Amino acid sequence: MKRYLAFDFGAESGRAIVGTLHQGRLTLEEIHRFPNVTVRLDQGLYWDALRLFHDIQHALRIAGRERNLHIDGIGIDTWGVDFAFIGEDGSLLENPRVYRDSRNDGSVEKICAVAGKEFIFRNSGVQFMQINSLNQLFVDRQLGSPALAAAKRLLFMPDLFNYWLTGVQRAEVTIASTSQFYNPVEKRWANELLAKLGLPHDILPEIIQPGQKLGPLLPWLAKETNLAYATVYASAGHDTASAVAAVPAKEGDDWCYVSSGTWSLMGVEIDTPIVSDEAMAMNLTNEIGYGGKVRLLKNIMGLWLVQECRRAWVAEGHIYSYDELTAMAEQAQPHTALIDVDAFLHPGDMPQKIRHWCKQHNQTAPESPGQMVRVILESLAERYRQVLVSLEAITKRNIRVIHIVGGGSQNKLLNRLVAQATRRTVIAGPVEGTAIGNVLVQALGSGEVSNLDAARRIVRDSFPVELFS
């Protein structure tokens, strides 16, 4: 029996989950949950990275000192694209920027004007979005960022936390592949692309594979937490890569996945990246998964729209749970409006933004919370249908099953709407897909699990799913 500690960071919260693997079954126990909130300053929008690492330390103390658990492995996954700059002395030069920072507005057009859209896609295979690391780095250079000028190293968010745990600076490939300056065809940094945009490549660390051992905890941290024997693994650092590793699919190519949460990432697993003109026109992305698999997918805005609406209603004094909002949406009139879910990137008064969009596009603007959530969920289901058509066209596959994993898989109304819109079987679950994948990638790295198919068999044997058709 082995225990692995998975840290799973989302845009709203972080969790520390202990996964125990015994006789082909995996059980999970959450030992610490904490908020992940953005901090707005006059200069922009930031993540509170030091506070997040404080919560990592707290969870390690719970595991090692309060619970006296024998932890065999530690792994971290986070959202994609965001990064930190590390100085010559190894210190954090500034808190990492949030990808939703409005300073990135218009950056896609700017980088395409300099490097050319085709050249960028051929060298990165990544969907064009202003949130991408490439855009953020370009904006840093344009604005004369002192942190960039002083940077010795760039570390993506899971790599930053791994560095603070072990002292090892590496770039795990699944998170690196979200950047738009990793070349998935040649499996290296896209140095030519960076050079064309006048961006440095010498600050980029060595790329490593998911499951690779990084080492033990730093001595002071090992002593403080009583976890000197634990090995830190570079898990699949991108949360979607971890979630996809936990998709309970059997061998075959008749399925796709939706990693459903703040974002919805919908895609298929393929063996070789597709960087064709057709893929570029569809604005698909080629990200790396466990075992060298390519996650050909589309980023969709996801349940962040509901989260932002709920935040606005709470500010007005109306405190609804997500279950209550879904129940109200169940009772709301269907098919009153369809919105472009990807048109809503920035935070702030989301109900008003959606109403304004509907009025601009000659649609009935939703007024009640139930109607608002109904419109969002129906629009998400329709977006999934559109992406499904694109994935089938470019891969020449007949996709019969949609696996929805992650926290969004709990929304039964959305699952039914997806099944209705796509006319496909939806298999929802496991809910803790990202944490499960994080644990299993550690187990793969330790040699306890033999391969990805064996890992997915463990998922099927350990966690219930629900079918919608």
Q: pLDDT digit string (tens) for 274-328?
A: 999 999 999 999 999 999 999 999 999 999 999 999 999 999 999 999 999 999 9
Cα-Cα-Cα-Cα dihedral sign, residues 395, 401, 407, 412 = positive
For residue 292, being part of any structural domain is answered with: yes
- Residue 452 covered by a domain: no
pLDDT band for position 252 (cuts 50, 70, 90): confident
My answer on whether 87 and 109 are in the same domain is: yes
Catalogue the E-assigned strands of 371-446: 401-405, 425-428
Q: What confidence tens digit (pLDDT) does each residue in 123-176 have?
A: 999 999 999 999 999 999 999 999 999 999 999 999 999 999 999 999 999 999
CA atoms within 13 A on the CB side of 386: 15
- Is 239 annotated in the active site? yes
Cα distance between residue 432 and residue 409, in whole Å: 9
- State both tokens at 18: 């202990």
pLDDT of residue 183: 98
Q: Are 65 and 32 in contact (CB under 8 A)?
A: no
In a domain, 458, yes or no: no
Peptide bond into 334 cis (omega under 30): no
Separation CA 448–CA 441 (nearest Å): 10
Q: pLDDT tens-digit profile of 405-457?
A: 999 999 999 999 999 999 999 999 999 999 999 999 999 999 999 999 999 99
Looking at every residue in the chain, the average pLDDT score rounds to: 97
pTM: 0.94
Question: Does 12 have pLDDT greater than 90?
Answer: no
Domains identified in the chain, total number = 2
Please report where in the chains the tokens 């990638």 appear, as a residue: 441
CATH number at residue 193: 3.30.420.40
In a shared domain, residues 37 and 173? yes
Shared domain for 87 and 48, answered yes or no, is yes
| 461 assigned to some structural domain | no
**Residue 368 DSSP code:** S
Does residue 280 contact residue 119 with C-beta atoms inside 8 Å?
no
Are 128 and 155 in a shared domain? yes
Question: Within this chain, do residues 310 and 227 fall inside the same structural domain, yes or no?
Answer: no
Q: What percent of the chain has pLDDT over 90?
A: 98
∠ CA 414-436-2, rounded to 5°: 160
Please give the biggest Cα pair distance in the chain.
Answer: 63
The token pair at 242 is 């971890």
Rounded to whole angstroms, the Cα distance separating 30 from 429 reads 17
Contact 372, 309 (CB under 8 A): yes
Within 10 Å of residue 50's Cβ, how many Cβ atoms? 10
In the chain, what percentage of residues exceed pLDDT 70? Answer: 100
Residues 231 and 263 in one domain: no
Last residue of a domain, one of 239, 269, 284: 239
Q: Are residues 76 and 26 in the same domain?
A: yes
What separation in angstroms does the CA of 85 have from each of 94, 145, 150, 421?
7, 11, 8, 44
The pLDDT of residue 253 is 85
Mark whether 338 and 303 lie in a shared domain.
Answer: yes
Same domain, 345 and 327: yes
Tell me how far apart the alpha carbons of residues 249 and 267 are, in angstroms, rounded to a whole number.
Answer: 13
Which residue range forms the structural domain that includes residue 207?
2-239
Asked if residue 81 has pLDDT above 90, the reply is yes
Residue 457 lies in a domain: no
- Report residue 338 as tokens: 């369809």
Q: Strand 231-234 to strand 212-216: parallel, antiparallel, or no bridges (unpaired)?
A: antiparallel
Quick one: which H or E segment has residue 38?
strand 38-41
Amino acid (1-letter code) at residue 340: D
The active-site residue out of 239, 323, 340, 349 is 239
Does a structural domain hold residue 170?
yes
Residue 207, strand partner residues:
171
Asked whether residue 466 is domain-assigned, the answer is: no
107 part of a folded domain: yes
Whether residue 359 sits in one domain with residue 314? yes
pLDDT, tens only, 125-135 = 999 999 999 99
Residue 11 clears pLDDT 90, i.e. is over it: no
